[in-house]
């Protein structure tokens, strides 16, 4: 299961015994795995300060998780892989910087990718509309002539014979036997024809009558497009490697920051809930997906006495205690924060 529960209970004899019972029951029935999660004793301020920190940490928790999910999603999109293959102010500033740079890098990479995609799309479709870059070469055309030019004509495949028999008669200024087939596909082909420049309009009009399409083509523009595509292909390859390395490094940093924030939230709420001196113990649980409900019931049963009001509250309703339990969807007699690492889920 891709969800963990970080729980905290008082460090007293009864809770310690209950925690051991929980470990044994979870192991015996296969409800999940448990791991020791050490949180060092931190400096404790006044009650007002603790309440303020609890609220700030709640917001920072949500913000950091959001940045982490964006980073994870971006990594998945860039690498085209699935999820399977893929203290407070200091933490806040670091995560914020990652988000700013993520936006910048992601925008630059996606803009370049979109330009390349646009050029590649121009190579798709029928011969009537798609770019002829890569099909027509310099040697296929009459260039730098004062009088002659070469036209490119799309001829339906079923009319190949008609083209061969009629193109010379579409104008008296067509060079005889100048037509050459450059490409033939399932439905049509591209043919060249050489003629005098002054006869271009006449030839186009007559070709149109016979359902032949004369394509506009500029060799210089086609060469620029080819060079641009080549440049973008190389740039994408270079940016891909750099961007993926950046994503992996910064995802790790944000994830570590997120877990630190969870630990800080547990410490802060433990002090608010269990009082001073600081005395609590934490455990990281990984429920088995099929037995998550049973494990939750076991927890609720063992630690019911910590706060009887929690057992009486509905499971889908939070108890509104200012500064305490902020940002949790449910309230329990013990402290519990979920850590969901299904980062690419649509939810």
Q: Tell me the per-residue pLDDT of 192-220, one tens digit each, with 9 for 90 and over.
A: 999 999 999 999 999 999 999 999 888 88
Of residues 61 and 116, the one with the higher pLDDT is 61
Largest CA distance in the chain: 108
174 and 190 in contact (C-beta within 8 Å)? no
Alpha-carbon distance 97 to 86, whole Å?
A: 22
Q: Quick: pLDDT tens for 49-86.
A: 999 999 999 999 999 999 988 888 887 788 765 454 54
Q: What is the pTM of this model?
A: 0.63
Choose among 338, 275, 335: nearest CA to 50.
275
Alpha-carbon distance of 282 to 270, in angstroms, equals: 10
Alpha carbons 161 and 151: distance in angstroms, whole number:
18
Element housing 304 (H / E): none
* CA distances from residue 162 to 157, 166, 205, 211 in whole angstroms, order as listed: 10, 6, 16, 11
Per-residue model confidence (pLDDT) at position 230: 86
Question: Could you tell me which of 194, 200, 217 has the C-alpha nearest to residue 127?
Answer: 217
Overall residue count recorded for the chain in this entry: 347
> Average pLDDT, stretch 255-276?
93
Question: What percent of the chain lies above the pLDDT cut of 70?
Answer: 88
Tell me the C-alpha distance between 203 and 196, whole Å. 10
Q: Beta strand pairing status for 188-196 and 180-184? A: antiparallel
Residues facing residue 195 across a β-bridge: 149, 174
CB 37 within 8 A of CB 6: yes
**pLDDT band of 311, cuts 50, 70, 90:** low
DSSP designation for 136: B
Query: Pick from 272, 265, 312, 321: which is nearest to 62 by CA?
Result: 265
Q: Tell me the angle at which helices 219-274 and 47-79 cross, rounded to the nearest 10 degrees.
A: 150
- Rounded (5°) CA angle 290-292-297: 130
Q: String of b and e for 230-254 (b: at least 16 CB within 10 Å)? A: eebeeebeebeeebeebbeebbebb
Q: Which two tokens stand for residue 331?
A: 């309230």
Residue 271 has pLDDT above 80, yes or no: yes
């Amino acid at each position: 299961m891709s969800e963990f529960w970080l729980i905290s209970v008082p460090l007293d004899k009864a809770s310690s015994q209950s925690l051991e019972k929980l470990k044994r029951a979870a192991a015996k029935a296969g409800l999940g795995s448990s791991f020791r999660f050490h949180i060092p004793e931190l400096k404790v301020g006044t009650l007002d300060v603790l309440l303020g920190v609890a609220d700030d940490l709640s917001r920072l928790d949500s913000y950091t998780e959001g940045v982490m999910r964006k980073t994870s999603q971006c990594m998945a999109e860039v690498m085209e892989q699935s999820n399977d293959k893929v203290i407070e102010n200091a933490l806040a500033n670091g995560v914020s910087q990652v988000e700013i740079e993520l936006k910048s890098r992601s925008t630059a990479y996606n803009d370049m990718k979109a330009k390349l995609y646009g050029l590649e799309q121009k190579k798709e479709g029928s011969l009537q509309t798609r770019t002829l870059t890569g099909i027509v070469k310099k040697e296929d055309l009459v260039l730098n002539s004062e009088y002659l030019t070469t036209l490119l004509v799309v001829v339906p495949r079923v009319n190949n014979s008609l083209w061969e028999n009629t193109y010379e008669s579409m104008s008296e200024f067509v060079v005889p036997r100048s037509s050459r087939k450059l490409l033939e596909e399932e439905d049509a082909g591209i043919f060249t024809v050489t003629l005098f420049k002054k006869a271009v309009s006449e030839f186009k009009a007559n070709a149109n009558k016979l359902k032949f399409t004369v394509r506009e083509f500029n060799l210089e523009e086609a060469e620029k497009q080819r060079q641009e595509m080549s440049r973008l292909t190389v740039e994408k390859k270079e940016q891909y490697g750099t961007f993926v390395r950046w994503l992996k490094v910064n995802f790790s940093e944000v994830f570590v920051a997120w877990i630190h924030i969870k630990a800080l939230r547990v410490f802060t709420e433990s002090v608010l809930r269990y009082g001073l001196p600081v005395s609590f113990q934490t455990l990281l649980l990984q429920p088995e997906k099929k037995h998550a409900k049973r494990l939750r019931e076991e927890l609720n049963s063992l630690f019911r006495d910590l706060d009887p009001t929690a057992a009486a509250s509905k499971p889908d309703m939070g108890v509104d205690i200012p500064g305490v339990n902020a940002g949790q969807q449910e309230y329990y007699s013990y402290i519990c924060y979920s850590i969901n690492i299904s980062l690419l889920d649509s939810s």
